[in-house]
Chains A and B, each alone.
Chain A
Amino acid sequence: MSGAVKTTCREALRAAIREAMQRDSRVFLMGEDVGEYGGCFAVSKGLLDEFGPERIRDTPLSESVFVGAGIGAAMNGLRPIVEVMTVNFSLLALDQILNNAATILHMSGGQFNVPLVIRMATGGGRQLAAQHSHSLEGWYAHIPGIKVLTPGTIEDFRGMLWTALEDPDPVLIFENALLYNLEGELAEDAGPVDISKARVLRSGTSLSLFSYGGSIPKTLEAAVQLESRGIDPEVVDLRTLRPLDTATIIDSVRRTHRAVIVDEGWRSGSISAEIMARIMEESFYELDAPVARVCTAEVPLPYAKQMEDAALPRVETIIEAAMNVVGGNG
């Protein structure tokens, strides 16, 4: 990669916010502690000094009104980025997200669109227990009228925001909190990315591993280990959970004939269940084995480390599922 720099997902995202603010005076950031505190995950650190309190707006602890205010401001000409600390807290704003943001365009007969971006942290693995650790992005992906993005690579942390801001409709970006510190190389001129397509991160022939967000590094690691066992997995980063890029999923299954889905959400009624259904609907006769999945155990995530680890998808459980699907486990 020519002109690549070493950076983190957090810095890449901050660069994306800064760029958006510079590019478009209608863009502003609002949320709890995004300003003076520097963001609860330090994503917006330094931006208050650069852009001032009008555009880096600290809000009270009022998820419903600041998300709703984002909707109103978006409908009235601005391009707000609303940051909600974590997905668990977004539930206090669910009325605004579902009953207003997602419905107003359709309900108004196409008169009012809502060009709003809502970002929030998601996912477990930090011993924060059952009120700070859930992965509800698949659940949000149930809702027509919003787009659901789940960056899992440094390129997407850098590039998805601007594309989301250019979208005329509400876009929710779920940032797995474990990825903020993830280091990687990023092209110096990295910029906006397409958000309509899943991406094959590693091509392979033995089976397809479908994954997204915080599970991407785990899935890539599992792929490396599977390779050393003589298996050649394809890794597909779903990237956008709504609208789902079914074509790329089916295309991959048609080539590998086997699939495992890695999903940090709970199994029942999950995005992994949806993907299985689509594979079944569109490529049933291509399959050489039942599709498998690796999900989070169906429990509120516990605090103790061994218990939390046991609940979440891990490299070993991904490998195990993959071995079963390719028939390598007896």
Chain B
Amino acid sequence: MTRRLEEPDYRRRLLHEMVRIRRFEEKCAELYSATKIRGFLHLYIGEEAGAVGIMQALQPEDAVVATYREHGHALARGISARALMAEMFGKVEGCCRGRGGSMHIFDAATRFYGGNAIVGGGLPLAAGLALADKMEGRDRVTACFFGEGAIAEGEFHESMNLAALWQLPVLFCCENNLYAMGTALRRSESETNLAVKAAAYDVPSWAVDGMDVAAVVEAAERAATAVRAGGGPYFLECRTYRFRAHSMYDPELYRAKQEVEEWKKRDPIATWMATLEAAGEIDAATLQRMDADVAAEIDDAIAFAEAGTLEPVADLERFVFSERGSE
């Protein structure tokens, strides 16, 4: 076990991070119903241990590529709740000036390269970010998140092959929540053991219980260490489950309520909380304080987003091309 994982402070921080994401997204769902947030909104609820665990293994100079289900990754990477919420409100104070919305979060400061709403579209990009690092001799890692649905896309296979062939420092993080919209893994893949696919490209792979944050931290640190040491790409599968609908418009006809309820028993937040309680590392007062802190942060983010301004329509054509002189 990594030493940090034995420190109660650190263990509480992991809980805090997961709770932050959960509460943030619960608010997002409310704000969606209140029509403050529009467009597509994909919640990460149930999967928080993945982003929180994997980000632990990254350094500030590393890069992150994610998907349209990326609020958790953005928060765990250090993008402020304010910038994220303002983005979803479509305000110019948002991290992308309100141009990207929920599915397209970018942030140069934390090297967060999207937010990509094309399934599989981020993988080639991640290979390129890593290629530049390798050619420049920088020992950085690019963490690339995608769902198991992306594995059916050609871009997954092209990217795995190229990354392995050129030994690129990419940490491929497959968040296997068993469904791509309404298509169960077994209904879309002839081989459902995803590690076998990575192995076919000679990429070391590891499957981890994505509902157990400590297990994810450990697996991610092992994987990132291997990648950073020049071992080429690594494939980490986080076995997880989304508790909510695919997006806000999904009647969930494709799975049984019972199945969802079964998975909820493994809620990554509840189980981690129970672990910390059993170890005597949290008590009711700590939890209350944590909840209050998180609530205050999110309320502040919402107030910030509400008070935000709209980008002037006159700026519509800005950034189609770079503004010369600003580079």
Q: Indicate if the CB atoms of B106 and A109 lie closer than 8 Å.
A: yes
CB distance from B140 to the nearest CB of A (A): 9
Query: For residues 74 through 118 of chain B, which have their beta carbon under 8 Å from a beta carbon of chain A?
Result: 94-100, 104, 106-108, 113-114, 116, 118
A-B contact pairs, 30 of them (CB 8 A): A54-B135, A60-B158, A62-B158, A65-B158, A65-B159, A68-B123, A68-B124, A68-B125, A68-B159, A71-B124, A72-B126, A72-B127, A72-B129, A73-B131, A75-B113, A75-B128, A96-B124, A99-B121, A104-B114, A105-B320, A106-B319, A107-B106, A108-B108, A108-B114, A109-B94, A109-B95, A109-B97, A109-B106, A111-B106, A113-B327
Would you list the 4 A-B pairs with minimal beta carbon distance, nearest first?
Answer: A72-B128, A68-B124, A109-B97, A69-B128
Q: Indicate if the CB atoms of A69 and B319 lie closer than 8 Å.
A: no
The complex places the Cα of A36 from the Cα of B301 at a distance, in Å, of 55
Cβ-based interface call for B63 (8 A): yes
Chain A residues with Cβ below 8 Å from B292 are none
Q: Could you tell me how many residues of chain B have their Cβ less than 8 Å away from some Cβ of chain A?
A: 46
Cβ-based interface call for A265 (8 A): no
Q: Indicate if the CB atoms of B108 and A111 lie closer than 8 Å.
A: yes
The complex places the Cα of A283 from the Cα of B322 at a distance, in Å, of 30
Q: Indicate if the CB atoms of B100 and A68 lie closer than 8 Å.
A: no
- Which one, B107, B116, B132, B323, contacts A110 given CB within 8 A? B323
Cβ-based interface call for A169 (8 A): yes
Chain B residues with Cβ below 8 Å from A54 are 135
Mark A residues whose CB is within 8 Å of B: 28, 54, 59-60, 62, 64-78, 80, 95-96, 99-100, 104-113, 144-145, 147, 168-169
| A60 and B132 contact, Cβ closer than 8 Å, known pairs A72-B126, A95-B118, A113-B327 | no
Q: Which A-chain residue is minimally distant from B318 (CB atoms)?
A: A110
Q: Which B-chain residue is minimally distant from A30 (CB atoms)?
A: B131
Chain A residues with Cβ below 8 Å from B248 are none
Chain B residues with Cβ below 8 Å from A71 are 124-125, 128
Chain A residues with Cβ below 8 Å from B124 are 64-69, 71-72, 96, 100
Q: Indicate if the CB atoms of B155 and A95 lie closer than 8 Å.
A: yes
Q: Indicate if the CB atoms of B100 and A109 lie closer than 8 Å.
A: yes
Chain B residues with Cβ below 8 Å from A78 are 131-132, 135-136
Chain B residues with Cβ below 8 Å from A68 are 121, 123-125, 127-128, 155, 159
| A72 and B132 contact, Cβ closer than 8 Å, known pairs A108-B100, A111-B107, A113-B322 | yes
- Which one, A66, A80, A110, A112, contacts B113 given CB within 8 A? A112
